[in-house]
Structure 1
Amino acid sequence: MARLSYVIKFVADMDRAVAFYSETFGFAVKMTSPFWSEVDTGETVLALHPASAENPAGSCQLGFNLDDLRGFYEAGKVTFTAPPKEQHGTLLARMLDCEGAQVSLSG
């Protein structure tokens, strides 16, 4: 089973973005750093990440949590741009959706 667990919003100014989403909507700040911040929107986390040439400010990336990420990868039904790998204590991978957008996966 897959669940939409987070949306990554790429931002030009981390402090401004954290303040905007927490103050405008009253979301609790779960964590903040120059490289990754999270605000609690309920079931889905809004993750803020610095923008880059590959991910310009204002763009977003969906993140799904899968019960069996390795099995999903091995089934070979989608194109992976990064196979499952332990990072930051979590199994992470990236794939392309049907329109070529990057999708982040955790398991």
Structure 2
Amino acid sequence: MAETKRNKIRNELRQQLEDMGVVGLYFYDLVEDYMELWTIKNSLIADVKARGVSVKYNNGGGQSGFKKNESIGELHKTNTQMLKILSQLEINVRDLPVDEDEDEEF
């Protein structure tokens, strides 16, 4: 069975921790938190792709129009938290390996 992109990222993060001599349940739990945020991030991106940056609203009181898709703000907050976790783990994103032949659609 092929390893999913999610599992590859999790395994690469854990491997980097082990390579730095950082092991323990606390650190592995932070990696799991990161992976949950990764899943949320991808869902938010999918929502923006599906609905766009502006979404139609109707408040039921006769007012309707367009407003900013709230997923954009949540995406920003999620990315910020992901970067904070990497910082806490002392993992630099520039140190992460890049699989250039993988162009997977979410």
TM over 0.5: no
Higher helix share: 2
Higher strand share: 1
With the length of structure 1 as denominator, give the TM-score of the two structures: 0.26
